[in-house]
Amino acid sequence: MLDKEPSVHVVVLNWRTADMSLGAAEAALVAMAGIDGGITIVDNDSGDGSFEHMQAEARARGWLDGGRVAVVQSGWNGGYGAGNNYGIRQNLPDGRRADLVYLLNSDAIPAPDAIRALMEHLARNPQAGIACSRLSGPDGEPHHTAFRFPSAAGEFEAASRSGPVTRLLKGKVIAMPQPATTCRVDWSAGASMMIRMDVLDGVGMFDEGFFLYFEETDLCRRAAQAGWQTHYVVESAVEHIGSASTGMKEWRRIPDYWYDSRRRYFEKHHGRAGALAATAATLGGEAIWRLRCLIQRQQTGVPPGHLMTLARHALRRQPMPIHVEKGRP
């Protein structure tokens, strides 16, 4: 433990899940007991009355008294990264700049000791710049959120769904086995993520060129390039519904922004040739999977048009603009 505990700024990002966001904030208030800091609830331009509802509820519950909670409106829906950046820039509700920022999804409920567990882990591990929680569903089933950075080999393994390929490329498998103990990972889900402000000062905040998906992967990679580690902390338990805002579980067609984010990530960190190689690896892996499904007479489970859309996004000519918010948040 440090002689003086750091202050924590909790940012809850809302998009059309007002009651869930209030539930997440309420759980965060419990978890913040005895911790210096506050909570900012950001409405990401929901346009459905979410902002007014959350503001009224926060006022009725007495949250807005004493500088502990703020409810703010971003004014535009620039995506996950842009919304969280807006919240981080607001600083604490009392105007101070926090030492740590804790990002909490609207559909995530931290255990009473979840925030302190992340704080104490960072205090004990100065090389760790980012710490993420152990997520599980309402049914108690673990959500697999410990990952290696994406690569062409990892894309091939994931697409092939083949035991022999997985054994051959076990060091490249993107989704790591569910950790039983706290450990270092390349990146983890941003549903419950604590970041040192020193990290954001050095590498910048979220790249707002990612509308949704790959933005936390990109941030963890930039942090790693600057010498910071990302840790998966099993002692920090968070219940996570998952995809409440995005509707990913019900997708029949993958939205264009997922393909755009994927390409942006690979081009940014592997160049144009590396991005094309990753797409070729995915297509090759999918060919293996489809052949197996054909032989076994089973459905592929791949959304209609996925491979064609993936190839089309990969081959389009226009360059992907790279933007990273640099400097002090």
Q: Where are the domains of the chain?
A: 8-142+178-243, 252-315
Which class for 109: exposed (0-12), middle (13-18), buried (19 or more C-beta within 10 A)?
buried
Contact 187/149 with Cβ under 8 angstroms? yes
What is the per-residue pLDDT across 269-286, written as a single tens digit (0 to 9) for each? 999 999 999 999 999 999
**Helix axis angle, 256-296 to 215-225, nearest 10°:** 100
Cβ neighbours of residue 49 under 8 Å, at least 6 residues apart? 18
Give the 3-state secondary structure percentages of the chain, helix then strand then coil, rounded to 5. 40, 20, 40
Mean pLDDT, rounded, for 230-245: 87
Q: Which residues pair with 232 in a beta bridge?
A: 132, 183
- Taking the CA atoms of the chain, what radius of gyration do you get in angstroms? 20
Q: DSSP code of 70?
A: E
Q: Does domain 8-142+178-243 have CATH number 3.90.550.10?
A: yes
Query: Over pLDDT 70: what percentage of the chain?
Result: 92
Which residues are CB-neighbours of 209 under 8 A, at least 6 positions away?
Answer: 264, 320, 321, 322, 323
What is the distance between the alpha carbons of residues 194 and 176, in angstroms, rounded to a whole number?
A: 20
pLDDT in tens, 156-212: 999 999 999 999 999 999 999 999 999 999 999 999 999 999 999 999 999 999 999
Residue 153, helix vs strand vs coil: helix
Q: Tell me the pairing of strands 183-185 and 229-240.
A: antiparallel
CA angle 199, 203, 207 (to 5 degrees): 115
pTM above 0.85, yes or no: yes
